[in-house]
């Protein structure tokens, strides 16, 4: 089964949103049932809920993050994932240094479109920042879905 891990810092905003959005896109593409999509954080505290404002912003787009439980990357086996997508360059670098065996499977999410930029963390900002994150991740994942599928199936 193809598997993807999406990583941010605390696994409370961007990565759980990315997980939910990517699952939704894969299901619409009739591939979702055969794919494993999960998320984790480089500095996550296991068991924490998604941020309340991210839950609200996600719900406005038809996504439910209310049951999400944060996980730290140290708490899971990264070897099981075909593709690991990070929100920031610092996440990518940290994973590649700490887990050299997965180095070639770790990408900055924006790299899926051939560019390099971080997805800003909305934490601490107003609800509109969370809504902007939903819009940006939705756009980025929709446009990069063919490359994500291709990379995942080729590893």
Tell me the pLDDT of the chain (155 aa) as tens digits: 899 999 999 999 999 999 999 999 998 876 656 899 999 999 999 999 999 999 999 999 999 999 999 999 987 889 999 999 999 999 999 999 999 999 999 999 999 999 999 999 999 999 999 999 999 999 999 999 999 999 998 87
Q: Closest by alpha carbon to 19, among 44, 154, 128, 104?
A: 44
Q: pTM of the predicted model, to two decimals? A: 0.95
Q: What confidence score (pLDDT) does residue 148 get?
A: 96
DSSP E strands, the chain: 3-8, 36-41, 83-86, 106-108
Give the active site residue among 14, 71, 105, 131.
14
Determine the Cα angle at 122 with ends 121 and 124, to 5°.
Answer: 115
Report the C-alpha gap between 97 and 154 in whole angstroms: 23
Looking up tokens 């999960």 gives 38
55 is a catalytic site residue: no
3-149 CATH choice from 3.10.20.30, 3.40.50.300, 3.40.50.2300, 3.50.50.60: 3.40.50.2300
Cα angle 132, 135, 138 (rounded to 5 degrees) comes to: 145
pLDDT attached to residue 113: 97
Q: Is 23 a catalytic residue?
A: no
- Whether 48 is a known active-site residue: answer no
Counts for the chain of helices (H) and strands (E), in that order = 4, 4
The catalytic residue among 23, 48, 118, 121 is: 121
């Amino acid at each position: 089964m193809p598997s993807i891990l999406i990583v941010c810092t605390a696994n409370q905003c961007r990565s759980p949103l990315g997980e939910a959005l990517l699952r939704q896109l894969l299901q619409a593409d009739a591939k979702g049932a055969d794919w494993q999509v999960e998320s984790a954080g480089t500095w996550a505290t296991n068991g924490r809920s998604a941020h309340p404002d991210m839950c609200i912003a996600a719900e406005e787009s038809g996504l439910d993050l209310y049951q999400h439980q944060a996980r730290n990357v140290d708490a899971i086996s990264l070897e099981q994932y075909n593709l690991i997508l990070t929100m920031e360059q610092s996440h990518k670098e940290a994973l590649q240094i700490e887990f050299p065996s997965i180095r070639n499977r770790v990408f900055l999410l924006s790299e899926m479109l051939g560019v390099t930029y971080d997805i800003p963390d909305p934490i601490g900002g107003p609800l509109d920042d969370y809504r902007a994150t939903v819009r940006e991740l939705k756009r980025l994942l929709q446009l990069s879905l063919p490359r994500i599928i291709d990379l995942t199936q080729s590893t």
